[in-house]
């Protein structure tokens, strides 16, 4: 019964696996089939870029060790063409590798060997988060369009990755209030405190895209020992407008 329910829920989800090891792909294909997801395989960067255009995946799983291109370089190129979640699955375990991959646009980083149940749960969480809420909200200089997954700042588009948008949306829903790091970790990484650095990297990326001066942020503030707050200064507050029924978060 559980298998059937998951298949109905995720059978419209297409996953591109980019890995030059056939046995790894065959394992992932079997794991994703349990969730009802369709998969295709690319063994190198050239094949991956073709598959993005032809297969139109909803999610990409990327190994960093490819024969024709470093995976981080490919991740940057994929992010130019693909707005969905990118999960790095690799044997590289250093903090530098994690930060480099996230900087390149990855949404999650999983090291080999991995726990299958945890890996499936992470994929399900990313897929659930890609489904937009049907409303647009204005507050201060920001306009957040959930339907298009788009953030505008003073009329200009802010190019956020999948995870950056989701983190910002939660901060936006709680603007002018503290959102604890624990709450963010629970919401997006299952409460795993091993992802504190990952959270900090994403916050840094968002801040770099919305602040005029990152050293003296005006909007995205850090509460020492607590978390983060999206502050709308009083001189920029205007009545909240809702394009279609607002929902709580």
H/E element, 80: helix 71-81
Last-in-domain residue among 129, 149, 177: 129
Ordered per-residue pLDDT tens for the chain, 249 residues = 344 444 446 767 899 999 999 999 999 999 999 888 899 999 999 999 999 888 889 999 999 989 999 999 999 999 888 888 999 998 888 888 889 999 999 999 998 888 899 899 889 888 877 654 446 778 889 998 887 889 999 889 999 999 999 999 999 988 888 999 999 998 898 888 888 999 999 999 999 999 999 889 999 999 887 899 999 876 665 544 434 333 333
Asked whether residue 206 falls in the same domain as residue 238, the answer is yes
Count of the separate structural domains present in the chain: 2
The answer to whether residues 8 and 114 belong to one domain is yes
Q: Kindly state whether residues 95 and 144 are assigned to the same domain.
A: no
Give me the domain span that covers residue 23. 2-129
Q: Residue 184: which CATH number?
A: 1.10.10.10
Rg (CA), the chain: 19
> What is the per-residue pLDDT for 148?
84
Separation of alpha carbons 241 and 140, rounded Å: 10
Dihedral angle computed from the Cα positions of residues 201, 39, 18 and 206, in that order, rounded to the nearest 10 degrees:
-20
Does residue 99 sit in the same domain as residue 169? Answer: no
φ, ψ for residue 139, nearest 5 deg: -155, 120
Q: How far apart are the first and last CA of the chain?
A: 30
Tell which of 129, 164, 189 closes a domain. Answer: 129
CA distance 238 to 193: 37
* Residue 193 sits in the same domain as residue 118: no
Q: For position 55, what pLDDT does the model report?
A: 86
Report the pLDDT value the prediction gives residue 61, as an integer from 0 to 100: 97
Whether 219 maps to a domain, the answer reads: yes
- Domain assignment of residue 249, yes or no: no
Tell whether 90 and 12 lie within a shared domain: yes
* In-domain check, residue 248: no
pTM for the full predicted model: 0.55
> Are 83 and 168 in the same domain?
no
Please return the burial class of 236, using the count of CB atoms within 10 Å of its CB with bins 0-12, 13-18 and 19+. middle
Q: Is residue 247 part of a domain?
A: no
User: CB atoms < 10 A from the CB of 38, how many?
Assistant: 16
Same domain, 88 and 109: yes
Assign residue 52 the CATH number of its domain: 3.40.50.2300
Domain final residue pick, 129, 159, 174: 129
Q: Within a domain: residue 155? A: yes
* pLDDT at 20 (0 to 100): 92
> How far apart are the C-alpha atoms of 102 and 201, rounded to whole Å?
7
Measured distance CA(101)–CA(72) in Å, rounded: 6
């Amino acid at each position: 019964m559980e298998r059937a329910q998951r298949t109905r829920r995720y059978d419209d989800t297409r996953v591109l696996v980019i890995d030059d090891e056939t046995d790894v792909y065959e394992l992932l294909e079997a794991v994703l089939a349990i969730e009802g997801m369709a998969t295709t395989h690319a063994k190198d960067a050239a094949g991956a870029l073709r598959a993005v255009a032809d297969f139109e995946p909803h999610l990409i799983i990327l190994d960093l060790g490819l024969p024709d291109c470093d995976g981080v370089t490919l991740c940057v190129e994929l992010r130019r063409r693909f707005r969905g979640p990118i999960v790095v699955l690799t044997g590289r375990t250093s903090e530098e590798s994690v930060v480099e991959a996230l900087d390149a646009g990855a949404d999650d980083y999983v090291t080999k060997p991995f726990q299958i149940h945890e890996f499936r749960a992470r994929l399900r969480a990313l897929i659930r988060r890609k489904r937009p809420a049907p409303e647009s909200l204005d507050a201060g200089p920001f306009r957040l369009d959930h339907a298009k997954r788009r953030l505008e700042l003073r009329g200009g588009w802010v190019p956020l990755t999948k995870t950056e948008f989701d983190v910002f949306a939660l901060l936006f829903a709680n603007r002018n209030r503290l959102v604890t790091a624990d709450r963010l970790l629970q919401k997006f990484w299952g409460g795993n405190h091993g992802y504190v650095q990952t959270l900090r990297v994403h916050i840094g990326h968002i801040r770099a895209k919305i602040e005029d001066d990152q050293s003296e942020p005006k909007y995205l503030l850090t509460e020492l020992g607590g978390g983060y707050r999206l502050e709308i200064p009083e001189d920029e507050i205007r009545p909240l407008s809702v394009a279609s029924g607002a929902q709580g978060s």
